[in-house]
A and B are shown apart, each in its own frame.
Chain A
Amino acid sequence: EAGVAQSPRYKIIEKRQSVAFWCNPISGHATLYWYQQILGQGPKLLIQFQNNGVVDDSQLPKDRFSAERLKGVDSTLKIQPAKLEDSAVYLCASSYIGVKYGNTIYFGEGSWLTVV
């Protein structure tokens, strides 16, 4: 089956500019996650969707970050305006709902953002 698709893979922007990342989860996966991974650190959850509703966005910097998942499938993560400290890899992941499917989540290859 196809994996989690993300685009763009790489983006370089100047501070105060805006950027958007797109994610298409594995077909049938109701839960979608956006993680931020700063170099040398583990991934940190930004936002979790279940279908098109937000389950957890407690660590999303809402003054500059926004995310949506229209129709419960694709998702977009936007940063506006970007700061230097936003330089990171933005990982999208997805999973089934329900214990019978196990607890595994599947990651995309990530979108690498450099803010200069």
Chain B
Amino acid sequence: GNSVTQMEGPVTLSEEAFLTINCTYTATGYPSLFWYVQYPGEGLQLLLKATKADDKGSNKGFEATYRKETTSFHLEKGSVQVSDSAVYFCALRTNYGQNFVFGPGTRLSVLP
């Protein structure tokens, strides 16, 4: 079946540090890949997405590249801010069935 694996958290960084959150997936067919972010007390918000191999999604300084050969979609940011503290979810969606499958989430804490 389809599944998403993320690096375990929590991840704690100092402000302006480099961020990487690893995400790998297993899927039949050619899924679209997503990163969603959840701030405390809020619902999930789309951060970025990529719909085919080698696509790069980017938003608010975050980037992730769809790597079909390694079935990965790692999230990166060059300089994190305190306001980036949240839980980050990697997800995939296959066109067949159109269901989303989410990873378990990675909690990021950024210290001033």
Contacts and interface: CB of A to CB of B under 8 A. Distances in A.
**Do A and B belong to a common assembly?**
yes
Interface of A: 4, 31, 33, 40-45, 48, 55-56, 91, 93, 95, 99, 102-110
Contacts of A108: 43
B22 interface: no
A40 B51 CA distance: 27
A56 B100 contact: no
B92 to A, nearest CB: 10
A107 B95 contact: no
Interface residues of B, number: 23
21 contacts: A4-B43, A31-B98, A40-B105, A41-B104, A42-B102, A42-B103, A42-B104, A42-B105, A45-B100, A55-B97, A91-B43, A102-B49, A102-B51, A103-B49, A103-B51, A103-B93, A104-B46, A104-B49, A105-B93, A107-B43, A109-B43
Given A43-B102, A91-B44, A56 B51 contact: no
